[in-house]
Structure 1
Amino acid sequence: MWSLRTTSLLSLLVSAIPTVFADTCSELSATTDIQVASPVTPSYTDEQLEYWSSTCSALKPSCIIFPNTAAEVAAVLRILSTNNERFAVKSGGHSPNNYFASVDGGPLISTQNLDHVILDPATGIVDIGPGNRLDGLAKKLQGTGWTFVGGRIGNTGVGGLILGGGLSYMSAQYGWSASSVIEYEIVLANGTITTASSSHNPDLFVALKGGGNNFGVVTNYKCQAHPQGDVYGGNLIFLRSPETDRKILKAVRDFTEYNTDDRAAVIVTAERTNVNLVDSWILFLFYDGPVVPPGTFDNFTSIGPITNTLRVQTYAELMAGSNWVVLKGFVVQIGTETIPLPSAANFEEVLLDGIHAHWRNVSGSTLLVPGIVASIAYQPFPKRIALAAKQRGEDLIDADGDADRMIIEMNYAFLLQSDYELMEGKMMETYGGFRERVLRWQAEGKLQETFLPVFMNYGFYRQDYWGRLKPEKRALAQEVAESVDPQGMFRTRTGGWKP
């Protein structure tokens, strides 16, 4: 009997050993000098507040790890590879999808200390750490004569932007943000530090351009920067009316088709909220240079904005001046749809009476939700963006240059986390209605049949990102993921879309 009880006790002790070692936070604290913040420390609290959505902040990691080098990231992943903890990796925290860059009960790897920006002023080749945000990156490059092909909101993190592709004001000139990457430094699931470029690990190089967080932790982006001086940009604000809807939607449709100046870019957004019954249009205009050729933006300025902040400024000032769109303390949901550009003849049926009317109907049904801010952004995706991306190499998005398109982003922000399920239904109703209409119009011959991917940077977690890519690109991503992470650590233990 004593022998049986002793054996049982020993079995219990042995079975407990994996549980002890499964605690990545404790093991890192005990065996390394890597900074590990517990839930009672200020650095933990501060980092948890750096999310665009309060639902991500509400998820509580067991600790937050702040590596300073690729070697320290490798040490973290080697420990994670010995256990089964869920984890997340965070750049800027701008993905509002829960678990994409946030985690509950497992370790969070914050890249904020990997914020290096090392520029070769002669060639414009720049090494960029994933801990940078676009406003900080633009500030570090200010005065060098070079710039990074980044997004449009300064608070956006570099890591999530590039791994999702990255749509930029400069995309018609240079393609996606990822199109300017020359080489990735990446730490694989087993702790191996390697690189991916067109000549070394070329399949991984392609998979990282639009493949998200499925292959490892990128610790450095070596990019080709591009010449940059002062720019012209700012906002036009309009009070909403049915006639303004028609004029602005026609203007952005026409701009997408007819603009031939790759330095010019626009984002056209409609906003409505139950605070003071605001119902307006806010337009973002950009020109890559201080002098705008006459007529470039006349279709927009001639409509008669009530506010015009357009001016010559530095790119760093433009980036810093965009952060007002980030609503701190709100729950945020973002979704997207890609549509073929309607012809001038049927733009009213498609854009005005179809897409925009559907958004107004659904968003109008949310106006009793506390703190609601509903918005929709119409973003030109002309052929030139697809062609510019292809000229700079292969990527997973692989958009064809056979059609002009629009990328539509829809955003619901609200105060109470208890309204998440309700608003999730509204988000799905919004983008689902767009998709149903596009497919019907294509069947009726009113819209061009063309490839319409879901743009990762704006995707809602329920959208089928991989199913909307070309099958051969999804197959490539699956092969690469299985090759670099055969145990599936990044595919099964952290959030995001999985190939």
Structure 2
Amino acid sequence: MSLLEAINDLKQAIPGGEFSERGTDLYTKLNSLFLSELESDLQPAWIFRPGTKEDVAAFIKTIKPYSDRVKFAVYGAGQQPLPGCANIQDHITLNLSRLTGVEIKDDIVRIGAGEHWGAVYDKLDSEGLGVTGSRSTAGGGLSFFSSREGFIVDNVVNYEVVLASGEIVNANAQDNSGLWIALKGAGNNLGVITRYDFRTFKQGPMWGGNVFYFHASFPGQIEALVAELTKPNASRETHLMISMGYSAMLNPDALMCLNQPYFTQATKELPPDIVAFANVQPQIDEMNTVRIKSLKEAAAEQAAAGQSKVRCAYMNITVKADVATLQAAADIYAAGLGPVKSAESATYAFGLQPYPLSLLEKSAASGGNSLGLKPSLGPLVSVLLLSYWKNKNDDAAVLAMMKQSLAKMKQDASSRNTLVPFEYMNYAFSQQDPIGSYGPENKAKLQEASKKYDSEGLFQKGCPGGFNTALILYQYVGVSNILLESYAVATNRKNTTSGRLEVLASTRNRGLKLLTGGQILLIIQPTLDNLRGWYLASDELAVFSQFVSANGYYTGLVGGVGLNQTVSHYNAAANTPFNIPVLPAMYALAPVGTIKDFWSIKFGADNPTMTDGRAKSYILRLIDDTAGRQRDCHGAGMAGLSGPRTISPPGNTLSN
């Protein structure tokens, strides 16, 4: 079943649907609307825009038989910068931007999945109402009112969602309550959400705005932030964000800082709870915008401060509200900026966004979610790294700076016992595992919800972007058997008392763990740096010392291939060094053996900065090509290739 066959069937099933093929004007416009050009770099073969929820249901029903070979991504508003989370290379992007509309009834606001928050605030402002929606049109887990009302997801009273069966259901506290809770943190794992229903509340004008100041004052602002979070009876009306960073457009010679303090009531005088953040000195007085404003005005100001249609990436961790931890993180970030300051039109920010104790308490009392954050942990602070830059050739350096800085922050916070595992999904990048960060219990609940509402794994296999494929890995090997961010401290491959191989691993959240097994399969770059702790023999050392760089080399796992599992397959060229095929190329496909129809794959890129998403697309395309060759051979000695059902997610088993 080919992509063209799937498109033809979709057009017949949805005669009023809007289908845009690559190369058309509408396609070009739609594919440029993402927050980040890292998403726009991906070029789907087709973009389909449904006009109704019934169109979405028809899409799911029609695409399902093709899901082994034809993949899709789901675009809501395109505001999450992770490549592949809302777009896909060479397949179909399901774009929900026509599913708009804002309706207020019985203190509930119903919002189409393709709507922007700006339109929601326009409607609510005229009614004197508020909602725990995004601070801007860009989306997010925190709102101006989170200290008082909890996370944004805690205020969703109903989801209208299309399941893998094509059935349209409502999920709320009364109907499909398990699905309602699971969707609060599940991403695209469980269905396509077509409408969100939020609780509203009376809301008038409030204090808030931007304060720009200088780096020397940032340590004092960290102290003020922690003091505000940890004081007895901390206000439920505040929402605080502080950040520091670098922008050549603002000041090419120094780091600058920004406070964004909010108080959700219009008191006569500046509220004492935000005075320390609004009046920090010295500051750039003419850029201070703290004043009384409407919710609509506050959200518009936040939106204007952001950037779009540039190269953009977010990463985050969560820590306890501890001055030493936050200051160390800030120092780590500042120290790492040097190599990327020269990137054209670059802006880099290190942001601190609190999860106050009142937020965690309200969240716990609101019916539950999938995030795993309990009041006993708080108060907490989200440490967010944001980067914006212009040129693709700076991608590798910028992303490396962010990843290295984040890893150092995690290590430091862990050493202080202030690291909290939670990673917010909308601010996570490919090397992170937000679903795993929810904890084993919540992860298992999401796994059970996936089995119940998507028993055939459509959204795991057919919608591979973002963090969706994580759940299917848990289904294959079990939650308790996955150790994230772990490394080998020592190994014993001979003379063990059990007769089995032994590996002593240091893990992110389980401490030291002794692993035993009959065999060890390594799917990391085989460089000497990565193999420390394995006590290589002299012949192994001689082999692996030749791997001086792993750039452009990918390994991964693919499921559901359908080939004869007693045969390994290799791709070779006749007149190249070591007979390596002309890159980019897949040059090995071999059965794992321990899991039915699971295959290890080796792929070589022609560009060391190739993204994980593009590498996946190449791999899937090359397997499709192999399938065509096998059909041409009329089954001569090989089973027909049914197509990859799953491909492992970047940051777990696919690495470059």
**Residue equivalent to 2:432:** 463
Whole-angstrom CA distance in 2 between matches of 1:201 and 1:113: 26
Equivalent runs, 1:47-126 vs 2, <5 Å = 47-83=30-66, 84-120=69-105, 123-126=106-109
Whole-angstrom CA distance in 1 between matches of 2:303 and 2:57: 33
What SS does structure 2 have at the residue aligned with 1:365?
helix
**Residue equivalent to 2:265:** 289
Answer whether contact 2:186 2:435 (CA < 8 A) is retained. Answer: no
User: What is the number of equivalent residue pairs in this alignment?
Assistant: 457
Equivalent runs, 1:26-37 vs 2, <5 Å = 26-31=8-13, 32-37=15-20
Q: In the alignment, does 2:310 pair up with 1:336?
A: no
**Residue equivalent to 2:560:** none
**Residue equivalent to 2:179:** 204
Whole-angstrom CA distance in 1 between matches of 2:168 and 2:291: 45
**Residue equivalent to 2:223:** 250
User: Comparing both chains, which one has the higher relative contact order based on Cα–Cα distances under 8 Å and sequence gaps of 6 or more?
Assistant: 1
Cα separation, partners in 2 of 1:196 and 1:248, compared to 1, 3 Å: same
**Residue equivalent to 2:290:** 310
Answer whether contact 1:22 1:85 (CA < 8 A) is retained. Answer: no
What SS does structure 2 have at the residue aligned with 1:81?
helix
Q: In the alignment, does 2:104 pair up with 1:135?
A: no
Answer whether contact 1:400 1:451 (CA < 8 A) is retained. Answer: no
Whole-angstrom CA distance in 1 between matches of 2:87 and 2:111: 22
Answer whether contact 1:247 1:303 (CA < 8 A) is retained. Answer: no
**Residue equivalent to 1:10:** none
Whole-angstrom CA distance in 2 between matches of 1:147 and 1:109: 30
Q: In the alignment, does 2:307 pair up with 1:327?
A: yes
Larger radius of gyration: 2
**Residue equivalent to 1:23:** 6
Q: In the alignment, does 2:345 pair up with 1:374?
A: no
Whole-angstrom CA distance in 1 between matches of 2:413 and 2:382: 13
1:168 aligns with one of 111, 125, 143: 143
Q: Which amino acid aligns with 2:70?
A: E
Answer whether contact 1:232 1:311 (CA < 8 A) is retained. Answer: yes
Gaps of 5+ in 1: 1-17
Deviation at 1:255, TM superposition (A): 1.9
Q: Which amino acid aligns with 2:313?
A: Q
Whole-angstrom CA distance in 2 between matches of 1:416 and 1:281: 25
Per-residue CA deviations over 1:140-193 (Å, capped at 9, x if unaligned) read: 2221122220122x2315xxx4xxxx2112111111111111111110122111
Deviation at 1:451, TM superposition (A): 4.7
**What root-mean-square deviation, in Å, do the aligned CA atoms of Structure 1 and Structure 2 show?**
1.8
Per-residue CA deviations over 1:393-450 (Å, capped at 9, x if unaligned) read: 11011311122110111012111122222322222112111110111011xxxx4xx8
Q: Which amino acid aligns with 2:180?
A: F
Answer whether contact 1:90 1:101 (CA < 8 A) is retained. Answer: yes
What SS does structure 1 have at the residue aligned with 2:209?
strand
Deviation at 1:88, TM superposition (A): 0.8
Percent identity, please. 22
Answer whether contact 2:3 2:91 (CA < 8 A) is retained. Answer: no
**Residue equivalent to 2:443:** 474
Whole-angstrom CA distance in 2 between matches of 1:429 and 1:156: 26
**Residue equivalent to 1:180:** 155
What SS does structure 1 have at the residue aligned with 2:44?
coil
Cα separation, partners in 2 of 1:35 and 1:309, compared to 1, 3 Å: same
Whole-angstrom CA distance in 1 between matches of 2:205 and 2:439: 39
Higher helix share: 1
What SS does structure 2 have at the residue aligned with 1:204?
helix
What SS does structure 2 have at the residue aligned with 1:65?
strand
Whole-angstrom CA distance in 1 between matches of 2:424 and 2:194: 23
Whole-angstrom CA distance in 2 between matches of 1:72 and 1:283: 44
**Residue equivalent to 1:362:** 336
Q: Which moved more, 1:258-267 or 1:373-382?
A: 258-267
Q: Which amino acid aligns with 2:79?
A: H
Q: Scaled by the length of structure 2, what TM-score is found?
A: 0.67
What SS does structure 1 have at the residue aligned with 2:409?
helix
What SS does structure 1 have at the residue aligned with 2:395?
helix
**Residue equivalent to 2:236:** 262
Whole-angstrom CA distance in 2 between matches of 1:293 and 1:251: 17
Whole-angstrom CA distance in 2 between matches of 1:401 and 1:186: 30
Q: Which amino acid aligns with 2:222?
A: L
Answer whether contact 2:33 2:309 (CA < 8 A) is retained. Answer: no
1:383 aligns with one of 357, 362, 366: 357
Answer whether contact 2:10 2:63 (CA < 8 A) is retained. Answer: no
Deviation at 1:19, TM superposition (A): 2.1
Whole-angstrom CA distance in 1 between matches of 2:176 and 2:414: 38
What SS does structure 1 have at the residue aligned with 2:387?
strand
1:425 aligns with one of 397, 400, 409: 400
Whole-angstrom CA distance in 1 between matches of 2:329 and 2:214: 20
Answer whether contact 2:261 2:278 (CA < 8 A) is retained. Answer: no
Gaps of 5+ in 2: 472-656
Answer whether contact 1:61 1:103 (CA < 8 A) is retained. Answer: yes
Answer whether contact 1:118 1:128 (CA < 8 A) is retained. Answer: yes
